[in-house]
Structure 1
Amino acid sequence: MPITETRGVRNRNPGNIDYNSANQWQGQLKPDPAIEKRFARFDTPENGIRALGKLLLTYQRKHGLKTVKAIISRWAPAVENDTAAYVRAVEASTGTAPGAEIDLTQAPLMRGFVKAIIHHENAGYAYPDAVLAEGVRRALA
């Protein structure tokens, strides 16, 4: 039986970022409702990871969200997710204590955060380390 790719992997949008015409993401593909009605699609997984990282940085810089719980509560609202489990998974992946303030401009922390989101959003999927590292590098550039 063939393994079906998750929507996030198929769209090269592993954070499952909603499509918004105001977002001019690097590598974002033109919307095509025949392929995907809700989520953005990207030309490469690295650009999808870049967008994910840039959005997380916006949450910190523009919205002042400084903890894993604050960021994930905005990223994955409780109406659609088990936010508490999601927060625990990200804290475990980043080695962050519950409630601790974090700085996503630190590459190792960003990498752990993004890796945990990708894992959670895509049924345990993990990109090769080189793909993840390049996407994070682009986000922090």
Structure 2
Amino acid sequence: MSIPANAPRGIRNHNPGNIRHGDSWQGLAPEQPDSAFCTFVSPEYGIRAMGRILRNYQRKYGLNTVRGIISRWAPPTENDTEAYVLHVAEKLGVGADDTIDVDVHLEALMAAIIRHENGMNPYDAATLRRGVELARA
């Protein structure tokens, strides 16, 4: 897939969740041209990192509602978190404060985050699925 120069930053960086530097993620590109956000070797590895983070939110921090997850993912100091929460909840077909199992909803949750972060989701189901499989490995 050729990435246009005017594509959103997260798509250009193969980092559709806009994950900031800080961890030594599997699949990081050797060159990191973006000073704020990670660049991955492929979208699957950016999706993998998203999945690992989201699964940890539930396992380590007990976050199991869209509001809890998105409030940590996209804090109000940087985002319109409430709009983000409502968008993701709508895409998942759940209430913002309904309990969800992140593992069960992982693919749909990540697709909604990708769309919100980038204004688009250019990835086909197979690409998303490969990233989810890597996150669960």
Same fold by TM-score greater than 0.5: yes
Supply the AA of the counterpart residue of 2:120. G
Supply the AA of the counterpart residue of 1:4. N
Alignment deviations for residues 68-111 of structure 1 (CA, whole Å, 9 cap, x no partner): 001100100112111111111111111222311111111xx111
Q: Could you say which residue in structure 1 is the equivalent of 2:109? A: 113
Check whether the contact 1:12–1:45 (CA below 8 A) recurs between aligned residues.
yes
Q: Gapped runs of 5+ residues in structure 2?
A: none
Alignment partner of 1:68 is 2:70: no
Supply the AA of the counterpart residue of 2:126. A
Distance across 2 between alignment mates of 1:121 and 1:79: 15
Q: Could you say which residue in structure 2 is the equivalent of 1:8? A: 10
Distance across 2 between alignment mates of 1:62 and 1:116: 22
Taking only the aligned residue pairs, the percentage that are identical comes to 46
Q: Could you say which residue in structure 2 is the equivalent of 1:41? A: 39
Check whether the contact 2:15–2:39 (CA below 8 A) recurs between aligned residues.
yes
Report the number of matched residues.
Answer: 134
Alignment deviations for residues 8-47 of structure 1 (CA, whole Å, 9 cap, x no partner): 0111000000011xx2211112453xx2101111101001
Check whether the contact 1:76–1:83 (CA below 8 A) recurs between aligned residues.
yes
Question: TM-score, with normalisation over the residues of structure 2?
Answer: 0.91
Q: Gapped runs of 5+ residues in structure 1?
A: none
Question: TM-score, with normalisation over the residues of structure 1?
Answer: 0.88
Check whether the contact 1:67–1:102 (CA below 8 A) recurs between aligned residues.
yes
Distance across 2 between alignment mates of 1:30 and 1:69: 35
Q: Could you say which residue in structure 2 is the equivalent of 1:24? A: 24
RMSD between superposed Cα atoms in Å: 1.5
Larger helix proportion, structure 1 or 2? 2
Distance across 2 between alignment mates of 1:3 and 1:134: 25
Check whether the contact 1:67–1:99 (CA below 8 A) recurs between aligned residues.
yes
Q: 1:127 to 1:38 in 2, by over 3 A?
A: same
Check whether the contact 2:16–2:46 (CA below 8 A) recurs between aligned residues.
yes
C-alpha displacement of 1:3: 6.5
Q: Could you say which residue in structure 2 is the equivalent of 1:104? A: 102
